[in-house]
Structure 1
Amino acid sequence: MQDMGFSCRIPCVKPLLNNRQRQKHLAWAKDKKVWTAAEWSKVMFSDESKFCISFGNQGPRVWRKRGEAHNPRCLRSSVKFPQSVMVWGAMSSAGVGPLCFLRSQSNAAIYQEVLEHFMLPAADQLYGDADFIFQQDLAPAHSAKATRTWFKDHGIPVLNWPANSPDLLSIVKRKMRYARPKNAEELKATIRATWALITPEQCHRLIDSMPRRIAAVIQAKGAPTKY
């Protein structure tokens, strides 16, 4: 296998996309391809994700050639909510906001409390009096009528976002790949410490790369990219 150019690697974890979802990703990317890095800097990105206590089980490996890391047959599909601690966080080109640890599965009412007590303070911290656009995924609590009313009442525009997009908090998960917390409290402490290490410069570089990410989605025709 090695003589044929293959090497044994751990599969990249990407959201599993069907053809319809890929077409939606492609249409969204084409709609946003004219956005500049300056325009993306006005977006506050948010995400919710669960963190596992064990980060050691990286699953089976795959045989692939150079340049095939993101070939669909070489990917391992990610699972959105595996187990353990649920975390909400937000970031912009100016840095990261405060983390929120959720005690239960988020519904519309709980999510609006997160927005009130964590998102609004993060917006003040990251944007001051400047206008911003809020990004969130399409979870039921986010798209609920009551939540849409909350955003309207607070005068906050929400960026349309395609389903099954890569997680923002995967940044933290990659940094915690070799962490070995023994319980939920140690896990929370590790997450907080890792989140605090993300610098404004790193956030700025990530936001600055959005035009390249959009171009990559278009080139991949809506399929997963190296990002």
Structure 2
Amino acid sequence: MYQKAPSVTTSKNYLKLSNQLIPEEHQKIDGPKGAAKFLASQNVSMTNDGVKKMLRRKGFKARRKVKTNMISKDNQKLRLAWAKAHRHLSISDWRKWIFSDETRVNMWGSDGVSYYWSDKPGTMQPHQITPKVQNNGGGVMFWGCITSEGPGYGTTILEGTIDWLEYVKILDTSLLDTLEYYGKKSADVRFQQDKASPHRSVVTKHWFNENGFSAERVLDWPAQSPDLNPIEHVWTELKRRLDSYPNRPTTKEELATRISDEWNKFTKDDCLAYIDSMPKRIKAVIRSKGGSAPF
């Protein structure tokens, strides 16, 4: 005989769902669809809208998923060791660093946002993050750096990627021009870069040593660690500003002009706010045992 599905409004059904959302070992429910699927497995029928209403009534809120890069087990160990080796550095120490990176800026704007449901602030659990897909879609590459004095000179690459030859050109111009602009010498700063292959080429290492940087120290940065680099927040803000334009750029040249305009609007205080977060980033990586940090 056909049996009607039990009512979805009972406290028992609320309890079933909330018990699956709260404990870490059960945090597999991903949004209303996941909740509806779970309830269906418990012989409870509910629409996505019904799930949303129930979750809100019980105090749950939709929160943005944090985009992170995937981190291998080996790199987690290296990240943890690196964080422990640098946890003694003060904010004053970190202000001597120049943080650099490249980012891709899409012609049609940044990637979308995913959400998870929670009734309290959480940590970096699997259901709270979305792996980042890099180099997706058409656009331009932009290299930039930030210092405790403000943003450095940037370089936009309209076509192709940044290989070792292009990277050395960037170092020869944008990096050295940044030092000159702020009245600093290579001996005064600690330059940061990630472990992308152009950054580790023989020619690049030679350039660093010839220009007063220690290639060994420059390369001392853990792999798969954008969450440790404060310039990542600059990229987020830069793309937010670009997305706020009423019309999309029609050419890459127009996009490059907008990037330059917005990049030059960052201030010394903006850069200090990001750089001064380094001690917190270090602590977060140590707490996560080398895993993703909530930045």
Taking structure 2 as the reference length, what is the TM-score of the superposition? 0.70
The equivalent position to 1:134 in structure 2, one of 191, 204, 212, is 191
Q: Contact conserved, 2:194 with 2:219, CA < 8 A, in 1? A: no
Which residue in the other structure is 1:125 paired with? Answer: 181
Aligned equivalents of 2:190 and 2:283: distance in 1? 21
Q: How far does residue 139 in structure 1 lie from its aligned partner after superposition?
A: 0.7
Which residue in the other structure is 2:155 paired with? Answer: 100
Query: Mean Cα displacement is larger for which, 156-165 or 62-71?
Result: 62-71
The one-letter code of the counterpart of 1:93 is: S
The equivalent position to 1:213 in structure 2, one of 256, 261, 281, is 281
Distance 1:112 1:26, change over 3 A: same
Distance 1:60 1:206, change over 3 A: closer
Aligned equivalents of 1:3 and 1:104: distance in 2? 50
SS of 2:141's equivalent? strand
Q: How far does residue 155 in structure 1 lie from its aligned partner after superposition?
A: 1.4
1:25-76 CA-to-partner distances (Å, cap 9, x unmatched) read: 1111101001111111111111111111223651443223321263232111
Aligned equivalents of 2:254 and 2:83: distance in 1? 39
The one-letter code of the counterpart of 2:99 is: F
Identity %: 30
Q: How far does residue 79 in structure 1 lie from its aligned partner after superposition?
A: 2.2
The equivalent position to 2:222 in structure 1, one of 152, 162, 170, is 162
The one-letter code of the counterpart of 1:116 is: D
Q: How does 1:17-36 map to 2 (within 5 A)?
A: 17-36=71-90
Which residue in the other structure is 1:77 paired with? Answer: 131
Aligned equivalents of 1:57 and 1:219: distance in 2? 29
Distance 1:68 1:146, change over 3 A: same
Q: How does 1:191-206 map to 2 (within 5 A)?
A: 191-206=259-274
Which residue in the other structure is 2:253 paired with? Answer: 185
Q: Contact conserved, 1:21 with 1:163, CA < 8 A, in 2? A: yes
Aligned equivalents of 2:168 and 2:56: distance in 1? 53
SS of 2:56's equivalent? coil
SS of 2:122's equivalent? coil
Q: Which runs of 5+ in 2 are unaligned?
A: 1-54
Q: Contact conserved, 2:110 with 2:239, CA < 8 A, in 1? A: no
Q: How many residues align?
A: 227
Q: Contact conserved, 1:40 with 1:210, CA < 8 A, in 2? A: yes
The one-letter code of the counterpart of 1:134 is: F
Q: Contact conserved, 1:51 with 1:85, CA < 8 A, in 2? A: yes
The one-letter code of the counterpart of 1:120 is: L
Higher relative contact order at CA 8 Å, sep ≥6: structure 1 or structure 2?
1
Bigger proportion of residues as helix: 2
Q: Contact conserved, 2:150 with 2:269, CA < 8 A, in 1? A: yes
Bigger proportion of residues as strand: 1
Q: How far does residue 150 in structure 1 lie from its aligned partner after superposition?
A: 0.9
Q: Contact conserved, 2:95 with 2:276, CA < 8 A, in 1? A: yes
RMSD in angstroms over aligned alpha carbons?
2.1
Which residue in the other structure is 2:69 paired with? Answer: 15
- Which structure has the greater CA radius of gyration? 2
The equivalent position to 1:39 in structure 2, one of 83, 93, 98, is 93
Taking structure 1 as the reference length, what is the TM-score of the superposition? 0.90
Pair 1:109-2:165 in alignment: yes
Aligned equivalents of 1:122 and 1:164: distance in 2? 26
Pair 1:68-2:128 in alignment: no
Q: Contact conserved, 1:134 with 1:159, CA < 8 A, in 2? A: no
Q: Which runs of 5+ in 1 are unaligned?
A: none
Which residue in the other structure is 2:206 paired with? Answer: 149
